[in-house]
Amino acid sequence: MGFVKGNHGALYTLVEEWLDARGVPSREPDHVQMDKGHGRLERREIWVEPAQALGRYLAQEYGWVEVRFLGQVRRYRRPLHQEAWASVETVFWIAGGKGLAALTPAQFQEQLRDHWAIENRVFYVRDVTMDEDHLHGRRIGPALSMLRNMALNCLRRLGLPYIPDARRAVVAQPRRGLYLLLQEPALEN
């Protein structure tokens, strides 16, 4: 299960046009969920569509043989004290694997929220601190991503609460950075 974002280029356009051709954006959502917390109100709508021919195309062109469903989530957010929605965001998603046919739209939405929470924890630092979304390496991209992960792991060993603070500490004292590179990592059993 994953999200298709604007930086996915042709894939994003393909999914958007495919859902549009099936009338997904204009029909009523398959499930709506409202949440209130952190001083704001959030409304999430989800549309679920079987992948069918697009699933076969994704298997042929991208090697994604298990894509079974795709759809979109539209999120509305506003502070509790305002009447108008402050932001409206639409994202597309794809899901694969066996057992998905038994899921209800509400269960899809819950799984997507869980996935989003994991992605935010894991990738937020790479996206924001390392500006990864703006650095496209094509074939070298996975290797660059591994190097960023190694750099982040080294910076975390400084014990500072925030990665930007750790980066500034290494820039201010480059020997700290060399020490991190040459230090033996502690192995845990």
Q: pLDDT for 34-71, tens place per residue?
A: 999 888 899 999 999 999 889 999 889 888 888 899 99
More confident residue, 154 or 7: 154
For residue 34, the model assigns a pLDDT of 93
Cα–Cα distance measured from residue 173 to residue 30, given in angstroms and rounded to the nearest whole number: 55
Task: Describe the chain by its helix, strand, coil percentages, rounded to 5.
Answer: 50, 25, 25
Distances (CA, A) of 42 to 24, 32, 49, 80, 120: 21, 10, 23, 9, 18
Locate 157 and state its tokens: 């060993």
For residue 65, the model assigns a pLDDT of 84
Q: Please state, for a pLDDT cut of 70, what percent of the chain lies above it.
A: 88
Overall average pLDDT of the 160-188 stretch: 83
Residue 187 above 80 pLDDT? Answer: no
The pTM of this model reads: 0.64
